[in-house]
Amino acid sequence: MWKYSDKVMDHYRNPRNVGKIDDADVIGEAGSLACGDSLKLYLKIKDGVVTDAKFQTFGCGSAVASSSILTEMVIGKPLEEVRKITNADIAKELDGLPPEKMHCSVMGHEALEDALKKYYDEEIEFDLSNTENKESRVVCTCFNVTEDIIKEAIEVNGLKTVEDITNYTKAGGACGRCKGDIQKLIDKYAKKDEPKLSPAQLILKINKVIENVIAPELQKDGGDIELIDINENKVYVKLQGRCSSCKNSVLTIKSFVESTLKDKVSKDIEVIQV
């Protein structure tokens, strides 16, 4: 059984704002019957503020909970704020969703996005040929997931693996043929773990950590440390004071100096005593 938060359970047991608004200003739609979940979001908008919201959802407990809480999140809010709502916000408002169920919050966000797009399309005359060019490429044909949806899921939620993408967007969850494509999109859009430091930046950073973190600790025991040279990832140091005559100096170098630099600067650093 899924581990749902109390809030998720409350919302699927007692969904808020169920139904349709007959004179809705805009209806946002996401999902399909074939995919196993779909959502219709009805919005009433006056003077740039969402005055009422209702939903109809075909889907599991977390899909209903995501839709229900979304209506609560938008009612009474100006459109500038509503536009900023992400799927991560929906999941957060529900006190989290199981990883495999994150796609439910994504569906809620998709319906909201669809509603806003339709609303603005009516307000501002769009150049049709221009919007056609903007149509995003379909990556997963089983669940009809586009590159834009995957890109947004990666950027908003900090996703890093194909499995994450499947949990959040369903892409790759059926035949799996698009998994290679998804990996390429991760490589393209996911934030890289650590930006590579330039040689000068590296030297400055190492020097700073030794001066501010490592040396003060050694000084407490009557010792000290001097930075002699840096050659790529090799850091040459000299222990001073009581440290220089200490039998455990090798231990100090490896387990304290090197591990601190690995932790704070780069995991590739090697410290050599001279």
Q: Please report how close the Cβ of residue 57 comes to other proteins at its closest, in angstroms.
A: 6
Whether residue 37 contacts residue 12, with contact meaning beta carbons closer than 8 Å, is answered with no
Of 115 and 218, the one with the shorter C-beta distance to other proteins is 115
Please give the Cα distance from 220 to 192 (Å, whole number). Answer: 38
Kindly write out the interface string for residues 99-138 of this chain, putting x where it contacts other proteins by CB under 8 A and - elsewhere: -x--------------------------------------
Which residues face 240 on adjacent strands? 224
Closer Cβ to other proteins, 40 or 109, answer by number: 40
Residue 5 makes contact with other proteins by CB under 8 A: no
173 lies in the binding site for other proteins (CB under 8 A): yes
- The size of the chain, in residues, is 274
243 as an active site residue: the answer is no
For this structure, is 35 an active site residue? yes
Closest CB 173 distance from other proteins, rounded Å: 3
**Which secondary-structure segment (H or E) carries 245?**
helix 242-245
Give the phi and the psi of residue 128 in degrees, each rounded to 5: -60, -45
The residue range among 15-23, 78-86, 231-239, 245-253 that interacts with other proteins, by the rule CB under 8 A, is 15-23
Task: Quote the radius of gyration of the chain (alpha carbons, Å).
Answer: 27
Contact between residue 42 and residue 18 where contact means Cβ atoms under 8 Å apart: no
Q: Any residues with CB less than 8 A from the CB of 173 and at least 6 apart, and which?
A: 140, 142, 143, 166
**Binding residue for other proteins, selected from 28, 59, 108, 223, defined by CB under 8 A:** 59
Residue 249 CB, shortest distance to other proteins, in Å, is: 53
Query: Which of 78, 99 has the CB closer to other proteins?
Result: 99
CB of 268 to other proteins, least distance (A): 38
CA angle, 168 as apex, 167 and 174 as ends, to 5°?
50
User: Which is closer to other proteins, CB of 111 or CB of 206?
Assistant: 111
Here's the x/- map for other proteins, 39-58, by CB under 8 A: it reads as xx--------------xxxx
Cβ–Cβ < 8 Å for 91, 8: no
- 34-42, 151-159, 189-197, 212-220 -> range binding other proteins (CB under 8 A): 34-42
Is residue 37 part of the contact set for other proteins (CB under 8 A)? Answer: yes
Question: CA 59 → CA 104, 140, 155, 265, distances in Å?
Answer: 9, 20, 25, 47
Residue 23, SS3?
coil
Q: Which amino acid is at 202?
A: L
Kindly state whether residue 200 participates in binding other proteins, applying the rule CB under 8 A.
no
Asked if residue 96 binds other proteins (CB under 8 A), the reply is no
CA atoms of 134 and 244, how far apart (whole Å): 66
Residue showing tokens 């995957």: 150
Q: Which of 16, 44, 49, 60 binds other proteins (CB under 8 A)?
A: 60
Residues annotated as part of the active site = 35, 104
Residues of the shown chain interacting with other proteins in the complex, contacts defined by CB under 8 A: 1, 12-13, 15, 18-20, 29, 33-34, 36-40, 55-61, 63-64, 100, 143, 166, 170, 173-174
